[in-house]
Chain A
């Protein structure tokens, strides 16, 4: 049976020459129109919520409730923003988020690339064990660590401090993994030349390897920036005082109605919109990079 079937196709195949010309049959054209219609409808569903978020933040409370769907406020109101910046802790939250994000990102880039380099290039006893531990850490789900993290921060006395907010976020096992993969992918020859010339291991790492690692470092920067800016649960368990509230924690409190009466949608949506700006800017700057990072992560 199979043999005849194969024979059939061999005979049939030449009868259907591949059409290279761009003359669409009516059916193909309708298919094409349908494809774009679906894509555009989906794109609207994905984008519209963000547009309406920005639009609503400029509406009055009454209009946000009466007409939630329009993208142009009938009365352009800055009340929500004025309230956020002059009569709330919002600027303080933003400052805290910025401090933590910058420290975490700088720290992570350094520690993660240091460890990734050691695991990729340096031969030392225990390397396999360390790498196995890093992989094991990646498998531990984050929410399971809420109580444990609080316990240890409390025990060593850095609960409710910047220290406690930053230190536990400084290492990201996935980052170590990414850096290790990257260092393994670049040729070793240049480093060996430097070593022969007598440079120490750290020197080689700092002035030769690290500059070559720019693409991977950008990946780490994006991941840590996004991760620590958007982090919520760690700050819930590591702080309690209002002075240390971050944007995520503050806006979450705002969402549950801690800034007064009424639903206050313009205020809440303005806060949410502002906290999205830094990651959105990051996203549009490194758009190509981010899109291929996910792809690279899969192949790695």
Chain B
């Protein structure tokens, strides 16, 4: 903080700095105009549309478009109709997606990074390239590939058949995997307590269904495509982890796992934060894969809020509801980003220690 203050104290009006004000504005004018016209104004327009009954004809700013207050928001959250149920299903689908993808991709990325960061390793560059390559391909191309790999007669089912498993028809299977697992132990109908009540128009039993088999294929795809990017972030962080602490730990007789858990991982905390945040933000924005692959099917089990918003507006011409869903999604993303920031915040020292050393709880 202090360094910034000192750098600002420069002589402002030396001769060679003439005309910088004008130049500054001229240089930034293109980005200001483009961000203004294609970002700030559109967001304001969409905010208006989410409070209006605009049907897609003419301009949303024309006089015959009426203000309907929170009607659109109410329809998708408390309406009790199809819109609410659809939104509930979309949230359910995406929540399971986030719940599985974020931890799995983080763990896999960290695992890959620790494997390729060994001091002595042949073919390091090859392995890094192999793990990173899926990240550069487009989501459309990967989805097309995935539709093939996970088709009834595809590679995955072929491999599963080697070990005697009769693979599902992945992208056409709407069964939730938690329900499938429970079904295999004979539990087919949910208990009364879970089926009689619910949230957003779907019962708790349905909330707990887990991602559908189709969504699980997308989950695997997300882990496959993003783990490489996350791995690079962890590799960079591992390079900055000092070896001294690890060696000290080794002297003290800590096992490899203990050293990783108590010495390396705490030092990776900032990167962990970055990776989790990027993952969380990305996972709530699933759209391309759904548009390309399943269009929300089978039985709506791959509909996500982002896709639902698109569908409501561009296909059903219900622009108010589409915009309302988009803004709710925006709030969800911000909410989780803030929660995560709070959970992973830097705690100065443990409370007991803080008392010992009389350090005032000062968070950075």
Contact = CB atoms under 8 A, between A and B. Distances in A.
A140 B295 CA distance: 24
A272 B159 contact: no
Contacts of B265: none
Interface stretch (B13-21, B185-193, B355-363): B13-21
Contacts of B123: 39
Given A16-B251, A118-B24, A272-B145, A39 B31 contact: no
B143, B236, B319, most chain A CB atoms within 10 A: B236
Contacts of B144: 251, 254-255, 268-269, 271-272
Contacts of A96: none
Interface stretch (A77-85, A148-156, A211-219): A148-156
B307 to A, nearest CB: 9
B233 A294 contact: yes
Interface stretch (B80-88, B124-132, B207-215): B124-132
B232 interface: yes
A72 interface: no
Chain A, interface residues (CB within 8 Å), range: 35 or more
Nearest to A5: B252
Contacts of B12: 123
B232 A276 contact: no
Contacts of B235: 295
A137 B23 contact: no
B12, B118, B292, most chain A CB atoms within 10 A: B292
Contacts of A244: none
A184 to B, nearest CB: 10
B190 to A, nearest CB: 32
Given A39-B115, A251-B140, A143 B306 contact: yes
A248 interface: yes
B151 interface: yes
Nearest to B21: A124
A56 B148 contact: yes
Interface residues of B, number: 102
B41 interface: yes
Contacts of A122: 20, 23-24, 27
Contacts of B284: 141
Contact of B25 (A126, A237, A256, A269): A126
B189 to A, nearest CB: 35
Nearest to A13: B251
A252 interface: yes
A43 B130 contact: yes
Contact of B30 (A13, A171, A283): A171
Contacts of B24: 118, 122-124, 126-127
Interface stretch (B99-107, B197-205, B327-335, B343-351): B327-335
Contact of B145 (A49, A200, A252): A49
A151 B154 contact: no
Contact of B136 (A171, A263, A283, A295): A283
A236 B140 CA distance: 13
Contact of A39 (B127, B295, B326, B333): B127
A263 to B, nearest CB: 7
Contacts of A126: 24-25
A147 B309 contact: yes
Nearest to B38: A168
Interface string A113-137: 0110111001111110010011001
Contact of B149 (A49, A147, A176, A282): A49
Binding site secondary structure of chain A: helix
A151 B155 contact: no
Contacts of B39: 137, 140, 145, 148
Interface string B216-244: 00000000100011001101110100000
Contacts of B251: 9, 12-13, 16
Interface string B251-277: 110000000000000000001001000
Contacts of A156: 37
A144 B148 contact: no
Contacts of B293: 255
B46 interface: yes
B45 A152 contact: yes
B299 interface: no
A125 B21 contact: yes
Given A39-B123, A268-B147, 4 more contacts: A42-B127, A143-B326, A155-B45, A280-B133
Interface of A: 9, 12-13, 16, 35-36, 38-39, 42-43, 46-47, 49-50, 52-53, 56, 64-66, 68-69, 111-112, 114-115, 117-119, 122-127, 130, 133-134, 137, 139-152, 154-156, 167-168, 170-171, 173, 176, 192, 195-196, 200-202, 205, 226, 229-230, 232-233, 236-237, 247-248, 251-252, 254-256, 263, 265, 268-269, 271-273, 275-276, 279-280, 282-283, 287, 290-291, 294-295, 298-299
- For the complex of A and B, the 10 pairs showing the least CB-CB separation, nearest first, are A124-B24, A148-B42, A295-B236, A230-B138, A118-B27, A294-B232, A148-B46, A201-B23, A168-B38, A272-B141
26 contacts: A50-B134, A69-B155, A69-B159, A114-B31, A123-B17, A125-B21, A126-B24, A134-B35, A137-B39, A139-B337, A141-B281, A143-B309, A144-B327, A145-B43, A150-B314, A151-B49, A171-B38, A202-B23, A230-B137, A230-B139, A254-B144, A255-B140, A268-B144, A269-B145, A272-B145, A279-B138
